[in-house]
Amino acid sequence: MPATRTRNKLADLGAVAAGLAHEIRNPLNSLYINGQLLEEMLSELPEKGVPQKEDLLSLARANLKVTQRLNDTLSGFLRFARPPAMELALVDLNRIVSETLRFLETELAYRGILLKTKLCPTPLPVLADEKLLKQALLNLLLNAQQAIDKEEKEIRVTTGVRAGRPFVRIRDNGRGIPPSDRRNIFRLFFTTRKNGSGLGLPIVRQIVRQHGGAVYVRSREGQGTTMTVALLFEEQFRAMFPGRLPLALPEGGRQ
């Protein structure tokens, strides 16, 4: 089949899946609300008259949990299938990175993870949707945090310029990615974690590509993983997407 036809078919399939997910959402919400109600009613039953009360309650709670998880998966998938429109502004990548880190600082310290940050001494002007870019970085940082299995826990974050392009690099000293998993990690719903969703990296890649960038992975099993997000400088972005030029807003001009 020619490549464009394959692509069209995939796009159709994506649209159908998104439609289906959307359809499931409302009944799922009712299920959740009814589940909560049921749990409440059961917990108010008198202990004496209903000997199975505890069993019924734990069943109801298990159902609630499953419903909640299904809802999370569905929301994540819809977020992926129908990505929000980008709101671009001129921002400094260094600021985006340090604000994202500030958001996680307490949590990392609490988990005993040493955070080493090395920001490029000069500003890195990029055209970006700040919220989306922060979300992508957060996903990578959470993965890094979850992968760390050593006594000495460490995450290194670096920004800079490589091959003429601005980048941010997140390196952890965690368990690494086995070679057999490498080509799967960006696949939707691929996860090796017990409570994982497999949505994190697909969303990261989608956001980074929307910005004209790319994600590079280097990993050594047992040693750690390095995820590099390479972006475009403002003028490179303008050259690459001449039809999609946003207003040239100054840093912080959109707030």
Ligand X SMILES: Nc1ncnc2c1ncn2[C@@H]1O[C@H](COP(=O)(O)OP(=O)(O)O)[C@@H](O)[C@H]1O
Per CB under 5 A, 225 contacts Mg ion: no
Per CB under 5 A, 145 contacts Mg ion: no
CA quadruple 216, 219, 224, 227: dihedral, nearest 10: 0
Over the window 85 to 124, marking each residue x when it contacts Mg ion by CB under 5 A and - when it does not, the resulting string is ----------------------------------------
Residue 170: both structure tokens together:
């997140």
- The residue range among 13-21, 155-163, 189-197, 230-238 that interacts with ligand X, by the rule CB under 6 A, is 189-197
- The residue range among 39-47, 64-72, 119-127, 173-181 that interacts with ligand X, by the rule CB under 6 A, is 173-181
143 with 201: CB under 8 angstroms? yes
Per CB under 6 A, 190 contacts ligand X: yes
At closest approach, how far in Å is the CB of 139 from Mg ion?
Answer: 6
Per CB under 5 A, 143 contacts Mg ion: yes
Q: Which residue is associated with the tokens 């260094």?
A: 94
User: Which 203-242 positions form the footprint of ligand X (CB under 6 A)?
Assistant: 225
118 Rama sector, left if φ>0, alpha if ψ -120 to 50, beta otherwise: beta
Instruction: Give the separation between CA 149 and CA 144, rounded to whole angstroms.
Output: 10
Instruction: Give the separation between CA 227 and CA 210, rounded to whole angstroms.
Output: 18
Of 32 and 190, CB closest to ligand X:
190
Long-range contacts of 25-34 (CB under 8 A, 24+ apart): 25/71, 25/74, 25/78, 28/67, 28/70, 28/71, 28/74, 29/71, 31/67, 32/64, 32/67, 32/68, 32/71
Q: Which of 35, 200, 213, 224 binds Mg ion (CB under 5 A)?
A: 200
At closest approach, how far in Å is the CB of 186 from ligand X?
Answer: 7
Of 50 and 142, CB closest to ligand X:
142
Residue 225: both structure tokens together:
């993983």
Q: Which of 50, 192, 252, 253 binds ligand X (CB under 6 A)?
A: 192
Report the interface residues with ligand X, using CB under 6 A: 139, 143-144, 147, 172, 174-177, 181, 185, 190-193, 196-201, 225
